[in-house]
Structure 1
Amino acid sequence: MGMDLKHHVFVCTSCRQNGTQKGKCFANGANDVVMKFQEVIDDEDIRDDVMVTNCGCFGLCDNGVVVAVYPDGVFYKHVTVDDVEEIVTSHFEEGNVVERLVL
């Protein structure tokens, strides 16, 4: 896999340093959001352009599920499975940040 990614997506899954998954992002369905991102990215055949990584706590818990997009430096808040397709289409494919979800 080349590292000429257009976007690297980090989804908080509330994993703490001690390894436990507990927190608002996890409780709000972060694992489902990760799986949905992977599914939509596969469906759109943009695996070479976009990588999804689950990550630990950003410390922005009241906004969970929190999703960070690099290199853009965009943070999305309260992301649900229903928002994933819009983020992929609008942001990753068309270059338009989904303003209603921006943190």
Structure 2
Amino acid sequence: MSKPVKHVFVCSQSRPDGHPRGSCSHKGCKEVLQTFWQELQQRNAYDRIAVTYSGCLGPCDQGANVLVYPEGVLYGHVTKEDVAEIFDSHLVDDVPVERLRVPAGSW
């Protein structure tokens, strides 16, 4: 496997129901992760992009959270419907999806 150009981390943090910080697992992170993996497979992009689940990325109230490196762009409130747009715009064309970016002071 070659070194990826982009690396996507999908928060998969799980906390008990009612936890004050919430968690991405209660906000659809599993579906987001699965959709990223499906896009990766359909596009046969394994040589350019890596997708990994992660622990907490920080702003739990804005989950499901997705972090893209090497740029260090954090997306919040991501749903499985947003994945193709992130893939096309950011991972392929190098243009972050501004409507999903977590505000600078949140992270």
Counterpart for residue 18 of structure 1: none
CA deviation profile, 1:9-32 (whole Å, cap 9, x unmatched): 001001xxxxxx324210011011
Q: d(CA) in 2 for partners of 1:97 and 1:58?
A: 18
Q: When the two structures are aligned, how many residues end up with a matched partner? A: 96
Residues 22-101 of structure 1 mapped to structure 2, 5 A cutoff: 22=15, 23-101=22-100
AA matched with 1:96: V
CA deviation profile, 1:43-102 (whole Å, cap 9, x unmatched): 112111110110101221011001000111100000000000000011111111100001
AA matched with 1:26: S
The percentage of counterpart residues that share the same residue type is 42
- Residue aligned with 1:51, SS: strand
Counterpart for residue 11 of structure 1: 10
- In the alignment, structure 2 segments of 5+ residues that lack a partner are 16-21, 103-107
CA RMSD of aligned residues (A): 1.0
The answer to whether residue 2 in structure 2 is matched with residue 2 in structure 1 is: yes
Superposed structure 1 runs of 4+ greater than 4 Å apart: none
